[in-house]
Amino acid sequence: MATIYTQKDKNIRKTWFLMLTFFLVIVGVAWSFSYILESPVILWVAVIISVLMNVGAYWYSDKLVLKMSGAKPVSRDSHRELWNILENLSITAGLPMPKLYIIEDSAPNAFATGRDPEHAVVAVTTGLLSMLERNELEGVIAHELSHIGNRDMLVMTVVVVLLGFITLLSDFFLRMSLYGGHRDRDSRVGIILIVAGFALAILSPIIAKLIQLAISRKREFLADASGALLTRYPEGLASALEKISRYAAPMKRANHATAHLFISNPFGSATKGKFLNKLFMTHPPTEERVAALRQQ
């Protein structure tokens, strides 16, 4: 019978599989570009720029996300119950207590960010506080602490680095193909390589983005399982997710760059149904998350 532990292990394996797939896509694209352009220097330049940009974004991710979401710090006195829930669950999880922030927004949602447990942040909306019962709020906070404990921020930063690398590489290739000189451009082989290169340049960022979204969805399943394990009450988080999903309006400052950080889609109720829609979702369907929690 499936348990929270097996669900966690299963999602860890799937995430590593997706990361390996992502890496193989990048290796294939890099090899193709270097072969067509006969200029490995472009690869090194793309790697350096991408790493510098994304490491900088990772180092200051908490400040950037808090500013973009309009979150404000709170104290124990102003939000005593929420503060106590976060403090108690942090002790249970063996984590330093993250900084606590509130977002003035009627849409129920929450997120965690920060480069490591010592620099982590948990933020919740006023809508979440007004909508949920205590055991449901504990489930949401446990979910966010699980992201911190599972080092999700580090994993997603690696994914962003890889995605940035492949996107920059594609851009370099398109520019070099249009303005640079490939000595076999007029030959049949050269034309085939150019066409293949253009196809890679166009499709590879799309493939990379799909893999990034898939990893993000697996991280949500893992945080759900870990959060339920932390509270020992999966129903609390399951009930919270159902309530959150019924709120259709988007957050006031919803942003595609930070959407994957939230416990639920900040743009409102996710589009249901079709396989193609699910491919481009930052979060798994609520029905699947709730079912997984209630099966543990």
Both tokens assigned to 9: 């292990």
Calculate the alpha carbon distances from 25 to 39, 122, 206 in Å. 19, 34, 11
The letter for the amino acid at 43 is: L
Answer yes or no: are the C-beta atoms of 85 and 103 closer than 8 Å: no
Distance, in Å, from the CA atom of 131 to the CA atom of 128, rounded to the nearest integer, reads 5
Measuring CA to CA, how many Å separate 15 from each of 20, 143, 217?
9, 18, 9
Residue 144 bears catalytic tag = yes
Is 224 in contact with 289 (CB distance < 8 Å)? yes
DSSP string, 114-182: -SSGGG-EEEEEHHHHHH--HHHHHHHHHHHHHHHHTTHHHHHHHHHHHHHHHHHHHHHHHHHHHHS--
**Residue of 138, 144, 235, 287 with catalytic role:** 144
Catalytic residues: 144
